[in-house]
Structure 1
Amino acid sequence: MSEFDVEFRAVTKLYGNVTAVSDIDLKLERGAFVALLGPSGCGKTTCLRMIGGFEQPTSGELLIGGAPMQGVPAYRRPVNMVFQQYALFPHFDVETNVAYGLRQIRPKLSDTEVMRRVGEVLEQVHLEKFRKRRIHEMSGGQQQRVALARAIVNKPRVLLLDEPLAALDKKLRTAMQMELQNLHRDLGITFLLVTHDQEEALSMSDRVCVMNAGKIVQFASPQEIYDNPADIFVADFVGKTNKLNATIDTADGRKGLARLDNGSVLPVVKHSGLAGGKSVLSVRPEAIALGAVGSNVVSGAIAGKVTHRIFLGSSVEYSIAVPGVGGILVTTDRNAGGPADLFEPGTAVELRIKPDAPHVFQS
């Protein structure tokens, strides 16, 4: 038995002259929770549809559980999908919706076995008291759980999730993220989530596959993706970042000086090696120290002025205008011992970027 539930081997998918997916290799380990993350049109949904059997690769090979899927129809694949709009039968009650897939199995299951499995899965998604409830009488979160129950009742090898939380409000979406994580742990099957929501991908999955223009840019843990982006696209797409144009003067392979467009000089360190010349610095907003002018909160500081302030409760976001550089976003944690007072728009401030904060990419 293969240790990988899904494998893409040099898979390309063309729609006429348009390349949706280009020569990708990807392996999903058994029982993993993987998020396909990227902007619209990057190829993530095409990958999901090829796994589900709704599309076939133009070239390359797709395997599920070590078995080639070329020509295997969707209904014969050991996968199930939860669609963004749920695709529930509105004229059926919860029990009948969940049982629908079981009723299609041949040889036919007994009514007793069908009801046993339906009851088991409704208990897993906390809907055992709603068996006879009509779909139109259910809330959005309840409908989402019905869709999940219908997808897992057949015990698929891989569960495909096509932006399943997009229709929910923020509070309910957060609650459903935790429920999906619990369900994944209970079932022990592979979950593959397609989303363009960075927070959703980072908070729910074990591994994140970032895609752009039909290619895989980086496949790593959420922490690795955020802390060590593979290129400027990943740094800019995953989370918030400041992109600063600079010229790098290298002292050795790890340390150097970055000269910004306004002449400011920043010491920089990059553990994977530091190439000289024109570069772009990627600096996370929370990695920048902020203080009032002359407060000695920061040293070796860059002068700027607050243009906007967004109060977020436990943190505050500032937009700082730096002459010759442009706008810099800074996030301060109100519980981390930083400035006690909020800086008003128009206030002159100083900011400092630690040497190990920037990620340096060739421009």
Structure 2
Amino acid sequence: MSTAPVPDIEFRGVAKRYGAVTAVSGIDLAVPPAAFVALLGPSGCGKTTCLRMIGGFEQPSEGQVLIRGKDMAGTPPYRRPVNMVFQQYALFPHLDAGDNVSYGLRQLRPRLSAREISLKAGEALAMVQLAGYGRRKIHELSGGQQQRVALARALVNKPAVLLLDEPLAALDKKLRTDMQIELQNLQRELGITFVLVTHDQEEALSMSDFVCVMNRGSIVQVGQPSEIYHEPADLFVADFVGKTNLLAGKVERRSGELVEVMLADGSVISARSRNGVASGEAVSVSLRPEALRLGASEQGTFQGIVRNRIFLGSTAEYAIEVPALGTLLATADHQLSQDLFKPGEPVAIGFAPGAPLAFSGVKENGEKQRETKNVEIVS
């Protein structure tokens, strides 16, 4: 009988308070070996506090943080099998790239020989495609190269877990995309657990194996990126992760997972609901922009007027004003310029079957919270 592997990281009833302020509240989480996990959420949700508790820069007020089955209570950062890449890289400006990478090696006891330190630092720089850059001064490197030096310094000691605190935030869009791919490839090659903290939904969905969505100090949902996007657990996740249209309505009747919802314009649409909404309940219906179907005829669920169009190459985004429902965002593919709808043009709007999702409550300030505890990521 096989036994489950020991999680690389485990939170057991972890809470963190700063005086009267609760930053993290009762989190249970198990991260399997060699996973790439993103902690995603708005500013102040507790994701960075969780990262700092893994790294040993903060101690939990309650509960346990375990790394590979060992309770880390009282263990300082330099004694943990963990390294961290900070948002601002925290490189030593007076040292060259090679000395920055080898700094941690020189602190090891028993001491390594100078030759061994130089060899390991060179291997780490080659790992991040900076072979031959060891003698470069930090100010001589681009932002992307500095980010790689910070990454090499964190990996040179071969930690069990690598913590990434929004490491790509300072990079331009193209370089950020390139580094996302490099980080994914590096994580697979090394086979160690990466934990990424970010408020960038696209970054979390594109890079990680699993996404842990947080809000107000609690875990809201954990799952694979496709699950988080297509099957959000509640209104907060639906609104926060990616783009969506939220339509307020009232449940007319329910049949199993399906509910009939009357919207503000009097139309009734069928939507899926997984959180037990009842007849007569106020709900928000989520419709992703790419699920909307646009047509020039009047055969659609809604009728609207195109107010804005953003050309994105093979796709275009439209802001469409619909009477009584407000402005809907739609994303549509096109092949020819004549396929594009023009601002001021009337359009009919339909949607893919099963696309509408109904959630309890009406969106207020973009937030709605549901706590989820005892979460285990299954690899």
* Structure 2 contact 8–68 (Cα < 8 Å) conserved: yes
Post-superposition CA distance 1:334-354 (Å, at most 9, x none): 25x9x9522222211110133
Distance 1:287 1:12 in 2: 39
The Cα of 1:236 is off from its aligned counterpart by: 0.6
Q: Find the aligned partners of 1:76 and 1:162 in 2 and give their Cα distance.
A: 20
User: What is the correspondence of 1:1-363 to structure 2 with a 5 Å cutoff?
Assistant: 3-270=6-273, 275-277=278-280, 278-294=282-298, 299-335=299-335, 340-363=338-361
Secondary structure at the aligned position of 1:14 is classed as strand
AA in 2 matched with 1:245 = A
CA-CA distance at 1:254 after TM superposition: 2.9
8 Å Cα contact 2:277-2:360 kept in structure 1: no
1:123 Cα deviation after fit: 1.2
Determine if contact 1:2/1:65 at 8 Å carries over to the other structure. no
Question: Segments of 4+ in structure 1 off by > 3 A?
Answer: 269-275
C-alpha deviation, 1:249, in angstroms: 2.2
Q: Secondary structure at the match of 2:182?
A: helix
In the aligned structure 1, how far is the partner of 2:321 from the partner of 2:189? 49
Kindly tell me: are residues 2 and 107 of structure 1, through their superposed partners in 2, closer, same or farther at Cα, counting changes over 3 Å? farther
Matched residues, percent identical? 62
Long gaps (5+) in structure 2: 362-379
Deviation per residue, 1:82-135 (Å, 9 max, x gap) = 000001011111111110000000111111211121121111111111111111
Higher RCO by CA contacts (8 Å cutoff, separation 6 or greater): 2
Read off the aligned partner of 1:176 and give its amino acid letter: M
For the residues of structure 1 that align with 2:21 and 2:276, how far apart are their CA atoms?
A: 37
Measured on the aligned residues, the alpha-carbon RMSD in Å equals 1.6
Structure 1 portions without partners, runs of 5+: none
Alignment CA distance shift 1:269-1:61 (3 Å): closer
Alignment partners' CA distance in 2, 1:256 and 1:34: 34
Number of residues paired by the alignment?
Answer: 357
Q: Is the 8 A contact 2:254 2:279 kept in 1?
A: no
Contact 1:253-1:274 within 8 A present in 2 as well = no
- Cα distance in 1 for residues equivalent to 2:15 and 2:111: 38
Matched position secondary structure for 1:122: helix
Q: Structure 2 length as normaliser, TM-score? A: 0.91
CA distance in 2, matches of 1:255, 1:68: 45
Decide whether the 8 Å contact of 1:270 with 1:356 is kept in 2.
Answer: no
Q: Deviations over 1:1-42 (max 9, x none)?
A: 962111000000001111100000111111000000000000
SS at match of 1:182: helix
Residue deviations 1:150-204 (CA, integer Å, cap 9, x gap): 0000010100000000000000000000110111011111000000000100000
Matched position secondary structure for 1:289: strand
Q: What is the CA distance between 1:271 and its match in structure 2?
A: 6.7
1:34-56 deviation digits (Å, cap 9, x = unpaired): 00000000000000011111100
Which moved further from structure 2: 105-114 or 267-276? Answer: 267-276
Per-residue deviation, 1:266 = 1.5
TM-score (norm 1): 0.95
- State the secondary structure of the residue aligned to 1:72: coil
Query: How far apart are residue 355 of structure 1 and its match?
Result: 3.9
